[in-house]
Copies of this chain bind each other. A is one copy, B any other.
Amino acid sequence: MPYHSTPLDLAFHALSDPTRRAVVSRLAEGEVPVTVLAEPFDMALPSFAQHLKVLEDCGLIASEKRGRSRWCRLVQARFDEAADWMEAERRRWSERLDRLEVYLDKTREDEEEHDKSV
């Protein structure tokens, strides 16, 4: 059975490109028309549009036509899904280090106890 990418797979893939991360950063400050969004990038509009399509296909951004402009915005739920995964792993890692520290302290105390008693 072929594997179908999950939304989380696609979100991390979308974030693996610096232009797309810069778009996410810009949109975190508020929605803007595509033309304004594209301005800082030294890139042909079709290439830029392709990056937006990757971000929109994975649900990290959404866009909407208003009059003659297309406006883009960040979609918080999808972004949070990826950020929450990172934070959960970081917490798991840090809890493990805490447990390790407790264990090492305990081992050291036991050794000191043992040294005193001999």
Distance of A3 from chain B, by nearest CB (Å)? 8
Are B92 and A25 closer than 8 Å at their CB atoms? yes
Identical chains bound together, number: 2
* Interface of A (DSSP majority class): helix
Are A79 and B90 closer than 8 Å at their CB atoms? yes
Chain A interface residue number, banded: 20 to 34
Q: Which residues of A contact B (CB under 8 A)?
A: 5-6, 8-13, 15-18, 21, 24-25, 28-30, 74, 76, 79-80, 82-83, 85-87, 89-90, 92-93, 96
A-B contact pairs, 10 of them (CB 8 A): A6-B18, A9-B18, A12-B12, A12-B13, A12-B16, A13-B16, A25-B92, A79-B89, A83-B86, A83-B90
